Amino acid sequence: MTSESLRFEHETLAQRVRFAAGGATEALAEEVRRLGGERVMAIVTSRERTAPVLAALPVAVLHTDVVRHVPVEVAERARAVAAEHDADVLVCVGGGSTTGLAKAVALTTGLPIVAVPTTYAGSEATDVWGLTEGGRKTTGVDPRVLPRAIVYDAGLMLGLPVATSVASGLNALAHCVDSMWGPRSDPVDRALALEGIRALRTGLPRIETDPQGIGGREQTLYGAYLAAVAFASAGSGLHHKICHVLGGRFDLPHAETHAVVLPHVLALNAPAVPDLDARMAQAFAADSSLAGLRRLRGRVGAPRSLAELGLAEHDLSAAVAPILEAAPESNPVPVTAEVVETLLRHAWEGTEPDA
């Protein structure tokens, strides 16, 4: 993993991607037309925010029953609505929860999705679906859930509060970092992830200082897209396994959990892979990747502790065994119970690791 061997297999997922600041309505209508859509099921969380975006579409049904982490019963209700209205294209406008529900419908119906993301979660660029049942989150990979097209319109992000933008942008950054050592990480993934780090490192502080500026939003969207493409190919590394366990078991907010856990995983792994650390440091324009992440987190006011996200101290121990079970073999350092316990404790307390 540490030297760039050029013997690898990489699959590029087939998807149309449009960056169209201020032009989502027309771009979305064109993408739906390309798919021959005449009866669109639009999945959204906010009617007001999304009405102008849907204005040029043949909407058969507007579905707003979206719940985070996609509970199975919510997915079943959405599938029934799609069947009842004889939908032929799914359009989702919203964050990862909204995209996730469209994927759950596509998984069983095969309906094509056009995604219009309004956070930096990146689900729109992956073929990964997730469903939650009885406090347990199940994920899987299926080509049917990969949106056929994505329309990115930075103008739709202006209402995303700065704190949510920061957490979501750091979630995207976590995709980049985990893609450096994920189980299927290859040189193409790492090239995308490094450019993603650079774009997020420049975009996020601009959102902080000018939340209504298109430039910072657009850079961050670009970084988030690259991050998700890299991540879809590289697969979940230790960071994502930890967040997956925490999110599924304790219903913690997705993006904020990623934002808190990331420095702890980076501090654990980066010293064991000095050449990857050096490349990430360059992308962060810092002396080390951790120093770069620390500086960025300080500039944007990142969330710090799992305690502040509502995780009870006594829940920490329950997370250790499932994390150990899920930890990928590819992780740069061996993952023991002690390693996980210490990492979780520091993340819970919000002890910022030394750069």
- The binding site for ligand NAD (CB under 6 A) comprises 45, 68-69, 94-98, 100, 118-119, 121-123, 126, 128, 130, 156-157, 159-160, 164, 168, 171, 254-255
In the complex, least distance from residue 202 CB atom to ligand NAD, rounded to whole angstroms: 21
Distances in Å between the Cα of 244 and the Cα atoms of 107, 189, 196, 281 are 20, 21, 22, 26
Distances in Å between the Cα of 233 and the Cα atoms of 3, 34, 266, 335 are 19, 26, 20, 22
Complex with ligand NAD: residue 132 or 288, whichever CB lies closer:
132
In the complex, least distance from residue 244 CB atom to ligand NAD, rounded to whole angstroms: 8
Helices (H), the chain: 24-34, 47-54, 72-84, 96-109, 162-179, 187-209, 214-234, 238-250, 254-269, 274-284, 289-300, 316-326, 337-349
Complex with ligand NAD: residue 1 or 158, whichever CB lies closer:
158
In the complex, least distance from residue 348 CB atom to ligand NAD, rounded to whole angstroms: 21
Measure the N-to-C terminal CA separation of the chain; round to a whole number of Å.
23
- What are the tokens at 277? 């650390």
In the complex, least distance from residue 17 CB atom to ligand NAD, rounded to whole angstroms: 15
Q: Which residues of 69-108 are buried (b: 16+ CB within 10 A; e: fewer)?
A: bbbeebbeebbebbeebebbbbbbbbbbbbbbbbbbbbbe
Complex with ligand NAD: residue 257 or 269, whichever CB lies closer:
257
In the complex, least distance from residue 22 CB atom to ligand NAD, rounded to whole angstroms: 14
Distances in Å between the Cα of 215 and the Cα atoms of 28, 299, 300 are 21, 18, 16
In the complex, least distance from residue 106 CB atom to ligand NAD, rounded to whole angstroms: 12
Q: In this structure, are residues 176 and 227 in contact, taking their beta carbons and an 8 Å threshold?
A: yes
Complex with ligand NAD: residue 79 or 217, whichever CB lies closer:
217
CA–CA gap between residue 307 and residue 271 (Å, rounded): 27
Complex with ligand NAD: residue 96 or 292, whichever CB lies closer:
96
Complex with ligand NAD: residue 246 or 339, whichever CB lies closer:
246
In the complex, least distance from residue 347 CB atom to ligand NAD, rounded to whole angstroms: 18
Q: In this structure, are residues 90 and 113 in contact, taking their beta carbons and an 8 Å threshold?
A: yes
- What are the tokens at 348? 């819970």
Distances in Å between the Cα of 285 and the Cα atoms of 162, 195, 202, 280 are 23, 12, 10, 8
Complex with ligand NAD: residue 158 or 272, whichever CB lies closer:
158
In the complex, least distance from residue 130 CB atom to ligand NAD, rounded to whole angstroms: 5
